[in-house]
Amino acid sequence: MLDSGKSATRDKERTRNALIEAGIQLISERGTSVSLADVATRAGVSKGALTHHFASRDALVDAIVSDATQRFWDEVHSNVDISENRAGKLLRGYIRTLASESVFMRQFFSPTFLMLVSGSEQSIQNILNDDAEAWRVAFASDGIDIATSLVLRLAAEGLATSIDSPFLTASELESVRDRLLAMAEPGAS
């Protein structure tokens, strides 16, 4: 029986995804000083397999950031309640996502991951610029005043960076999330 190549393609995709996931985990845990060997070990592959998929450390980091921004987009959309037939659906999904128990959100908003993207190479800045513009366009059509939307988004992002810190208890998280969601309703002031 001839192999159609689908199995090999799935294995390549699985390996690539495992490397990206390992990179996200390690960077959120240890920062940018993580070695390629550490990423390969965490992913359960050889360093040669890593370099087969990513020619350089920069290529891996670009893939990590690109994947993380797409996963964030996907998580927000999975938290949009389609039964809410009123303005602000996306904004409320954004708030729900950032105030969630998601392991990925905690990695994405960890101080070490944020440091990676804040002082990064031009290629990462390009990924982030494109992502920011996509969010601006999406929120512009969400039906909530742009300035109000921005204030609530920035508050939710600040909230996300405080999760798992001594500065935010579980009850405070719940209270702030509920307040932000109420403020994200049409006509709220």
Q: Which one has a higher pLDDT value, 120 or 39?
A: 39
Q: What is the pLDDT, as a whole number, of residue 111?
A: 73
> Residue 4: which pLDDT band, with cuts at 50, 70 and 90?
low
Mean pLDDT estimate for the chain? 88
Q: What percent of the chain has pLDDT over 90?
A: 52
Q: What is the pLDDT, as a whole number, of residue 58?
A: 82
Q: How far apart are CA 159 and CA 178, in angstroms?
A: 12
Q: Is the pLDDT of residue 70 over 70?
A: yes
For the chain, state the CA radius of gyration: 19
Q: What percent of the chain has pLDDT over 70?
A: 92
Q: Is the pLDDT of residue 8 over 60?
A: no
**Fold (CATH) for 57-183:** Tetracycline Repressor; domain 2 (1.10.357)
Q: How far apart are CA 64 and CA 70, in angstroms?
A: 10
Q: Is the pLDDT of residue 5 over 60?
A: no
Q: Which one has a higher pLDDT value, 85 or 101?
A: 85
Whether the pTM exceeds 0.75: the reply is yes
Measured CA angle at 131 (ends 146, 31), to 5 deg: 115
Nearest to 92 by CA among 176, 181, 160: 181
What burial letters (b/e) apply to 177-188, b meaning 16+ CB within 10 Å?
beebbebbeeee
- Maximum Cα interatomic distance, the chain, rounded to a whole number of Å: 67
Q: How far apart are CA 47 and CA 38, in angstroms?
A: 9
Give pLDDT tens digits for 138-189: 999 999 999 999 999 999 999 998 988 899 999 999 999 999 999 999 988 6
